[in-house]
Amino acid sequence: MFSTSDRRTWLKEASATLLAATLPIVAYAQDPPPNDCPDCGGLGFLPLKNRRPYFHVEGQAAPKAADAVPHRFCPKCRADRNHQELVDKQTERFKTALDAHKKWEKETNFQLTRVETRHIVVHAQMPLAECVKIGQGFENLAAHLQNLTGSMELTCTRPESYEQICLLGPEAYEHFRTVMEKLYTADERGPMWSIGRGLSAFDHTLIAFFQESLQTLKVRPPVHGVCFMGGRKQLSVATNYRAPRWLSEGFAEYSEFAALKMNLWRTIYNQNQGPKPGDWVSQVRQLAVANQLRPWVEQTGRQLEDWDVRDYLQSFGMVAFLLQSEPKKFLVYTRKLKAGVEAEKALEDAYEKSIGKLDTECVRWLAGGGK
């Protein structure tokens, strides 16, 4: 949730900051796999067979390394690799897994609860029940994306490379900003930093952080923010931060829904009223049935600071259509964006249809309840 007085400047600077991000996401034990592998999309990994849920909340019994393995080697381009390598890597990771958590507790002087999944670590200043929801929610998201696509391409982050900070109340949030200012230079914090003061969430490339209060917890559990920003991170990594803004926002919204079956978050670029929190599926379907959605050629080019209720719902619906109707082509789309293909051309080439044709099919799909 973001609100600034100079949104056009902020959006331009945000884009520059995101494109400059260089977080290590996937580390290979040997040479990287071929980029053209049709099975794994060049990652060298595929989703686990008979995948079991995994998340660990600080205070629970120590996890087993084998349970934390996020993927399996691609049998097409990594047939020579042994699964034990992946178990050994987790065993090694566990030796230093708590270091970052201890650092944040020391720097903030906060008591934080560490929540780990196969793809994220959250340091949460929250009650235990909320921490469990965070772990389960992000696990739900990862399982959904992997089962839908049969790929790891939309879940490339790892707990050693992607963290979030979940804070309780505005005072804690403001204190965390002072900690960041002590730890990182102005250049490292980026040009958005000064504009972002007063926000309730900051999806920063160094570390995403946000706050909920005791009052907001009653209607908006923090797991929603974790899945919203964490989902957007997955798309950012998959496209090398080249996703157009409508797609990035729509994917974040879709991620929250996929994990939790309701939408409570949106990126606020202005004070226009947003969609009614909760059931966005019914809301966007009503727009489709009433033929009140914008043409895609218009929607994809709109400045986000001008967005209103319809824009949020439509971007959510567009991503749901593209991803759920033809998930393999959605992966092709993200690969083309990652390669630097212009956004509209990447979309049309991936789906082998004009943007107008996709528009028509999307309206029909949404009006029909996703069928």
- pTM reported for the whole predicted model: 0.91
The confidence score (pLDDT) of residue 82 equals 95
Total number of domains in the chain = 2
Are 214 and 155 within one domain? yes
CA 266 to chain centre: 13
Together in a domain, 217 and 298: no
Looking at the domain assignment, is residue 146 inside a domain?
yes
| 213-224 per-position pLDDT tens digit | 999 999 999 999
Domain identity same for 195 and 83 = yes
> Do 215 and 283 have their domain in common?
no
> Same structural domain for residues 140 and 222?
yes
Do 56 and 169 belong together in one domain? Answer: yes
> pLDDT, tens digit, for every residue of 82-118?
999 999 999 999 999 999 999 999 999 999 999 999 9
pLDDT at 19: 34
Whole-number Å distance between alpha carbons of 76 and 344: 31
Q: Is residue 154 part of a domain?
A: yes
Say whether pLDDT at 29 is over 60.
no
Least confident interval from 8-12, 84-88, 137-141: 8-12
End residue of a domain, out of 238, 255, 281 = 238
Q: Are 227 and 299 contained in the same domain?
A: no
Distance CA 152, CA 47 (A): 6
Q: Is the pLDDT of residue 6 over 50?
A: no
Specify if 26 maps to a domain. no
pLDDT greater than 80 at residue 350: yes
244 in a structural domain: no
pLDDT of residue 194: 86
pLDDT band at 195 (very low <50, low <70, confident <90, very high): confident
Which residue range(s) make up the domain with 168?
Answer: 7-20+39-238
Residues 104, 187, single domain; the answer is yes
